[in-house]
Structure 1
């Protein structure tokens, strides 16, 4: 495939046995090994990706140091979205420490992994989010439908903070029970600082992750948000639970339908550079 110069805004790297993979469950045997840029580079070449953003999949200082070292070693790594304990009293110190590295672009709030579905609304967490906003960083949101009711309040309280809803908030495609998800996604439309990331859909699609299965979800968010407020990410290597990198990309492209050249460049490159302030 001819090089397209795309930006993949959502890839994960970890060292199995060393990284703090707090989310790894026993049945995820295919992911229970190390994943590094060397594993991904051949796939990027096939799709035409020229820049990637590492998004956190672990919660340790060691992992951050390793991700930053990858950014120094591999020119294709254009940014790192890391993790801090947003509720910690020392959140400012942690953010300032990571911000010393030029690849640091933002933080991921992992609400999905918190037992309290209202975690994003907690005052101690919002203090941490305020610290992220004050530093001009981006906040990725790892959320599901039950967390979305708290996002409008965040967007209002922090109007200068760019909020990115990862994986479209993991719509329950496999069950087809999408009504509440649609309602909550639609409530985000009035807030221009909220963006959606087209990623991780095939792993939510059940045993048959086909174009036809994910197309209605993509059509809905396109109608509500438009290409102007969307990013693309592969969610590699988690996506390999459903399809390889090239198949994941091709399935999404087919589900999107025909795009103008301007829309294609916005979704797969320009929006990513704007949101994550990429070189």
Structure 2
């Protein structure tokens, strides 16, 4: 099974989706599974992980409802208020949906560099661990230290790093990011999505070689059994087509065996998210 481990669906709302700015005109519209089906088929992708794009329990329910209509959705990474005193009640409510594999919070939007180690947030992570849910890490450089601290305090929690922590490819910054990746990859319970890179490059003038050192570093650090393919569709459309995103990733897989390629394109995501 070939899996796109990271993509989104939404019915565009200018107020709720304020992060989609005017310079992202290509994605200021609705995107639903029917809009993705054809490109998945031509790209040989069997299914996707639908990841939350806004922070509400209604968003999680929206993705669950879509999964009942579209078999391409193999798993949902929703949103839940991890800092809520009612976290157990919320998770109990969501537990009736087997399609929900884990949760995510848009940490990159939080100015507090220690958001990930707030006591209330850590309590929420413990609740996820107890129910065997995954957690997607979406961060910026100011969160590097707290990310490492959070992961260290939760050795039984399955984490996956979204978009390789969004390295600053546009300005070719590397060293600080690379050091963080090395430190994070030490923890065996952390995986990494090779996804979302094209939007961190120059949207209009990127070349494939821009991405190679970043992809190679992640593979070197995490190994070939803890990395997975993702497109970040439709966000990627501001800079590249689905097919172009796949070609960018393929350039970093030249020394993969057939078995390792199967793991990268789907097997690792199936194992991490517990896809049946």
The answer, yes or no, to whether TM exceeds 0.5 is yes
Runs of 5+ in structure 1 lacking a partner? Answer: none
| Residue of structure 2 in register with 1:56 after alignment | 52
Shift of 1:18: 8.6
How much is the aligned-residue C-alpha RMSD, in angstroms? 1.5
Deviations 1:137-162 (A, max 9, x none): 00001112221222222222211111
Deviations 1:9-47 (A, max 9, x none): 101000113994253333322211110000000110111
Distance 1:163 1:19, change over 3 A: farther
* Aligned mate of 2:30, from 31, 34, 52: 34
**TM-score (norm. length: structure 2):** 0.95
Runs of 5+ in structure 2 lacking a partner? Answer: none
Distance 1:154 1:126, change over 3 A: same
**1:1-279, aligned counterparts within 5 Å?**
5-17=1-13, 20-21=16-17, 23-206=19-202, 207-279=204-276
| Worse-matched range after superposition: 34-43 or 117-126 | 117-126
Q: Aligned with 1:88: secondary structure?
A: coil
| Worse-matched range after superposition: 220-229 or 252-261 | 252-261
**TM-score (norm. length: structure 1):** 0.94
- Length, aligned pairs only: 275
Q: Aligned with 2:76: secondary structure?
A: strand
Q: Aligned with 1:161: secondary structure?
A: coil
2:69 and 2:233 map into 1 onto residues whose CA distance is: 19
